[in-house]
Amino acid sequence: MQLPFTPDQFFGVFAEYNRRFWPIAIVLWIMTAATLVATRQPNGKGRALNYLLSALWMWNAVAYHALLFTQINPAAWLFAGLFGVQSLLLLSPGLRGSMSGSTIATRPLRWVGMALLCYALAYPLLSLSLGHGYPGTPTFGVPCPTAILTIGILLTVWAGASRWLSVIPALWGLVGGSAAVLLAVWTDYVLLGAGVLLVLVLVIAPFHRL
| C-alpha 140 chain-centroid distance | 10
For residue range 81-95, what is the model confidence (pLDDT) as tens digits? 999 999 999 988 656
**Alpha-carbon distance 193 to 199, whole Å?**
10
CA distance 76 to 181: 19
Per-residue pLDDT, 187: 92
Q: Alpha-carbon distance 103 to 130, whole Å?
A: 33
- Provide CB contacts within 8 A for 193, sequence distance 6+: 177
Which pTM was predicted? 0.90
Buried b / exposed e along 49-86 (16+ C-beta atoms within 10 A): bbebbbbbbbbbbebbbbbbbbebbeebeebbebbbeb
Q: What pLDDT digit, counting tens, does each position of 157-205 carry?
A: 664 566 788 899 999 999 998 888 889 899 999 999 999 999 888 887 5
Q: Tens of pLDDT along 145-154?
A: 999 999 999 8
Average pLDDT over the chain, rounded to whole? 86
Instruction: Supply the DSSP symbol for 98.
Output: B
Window from 38-42, 74-78, 90-94 with minimum mean pLDDT:
38-42
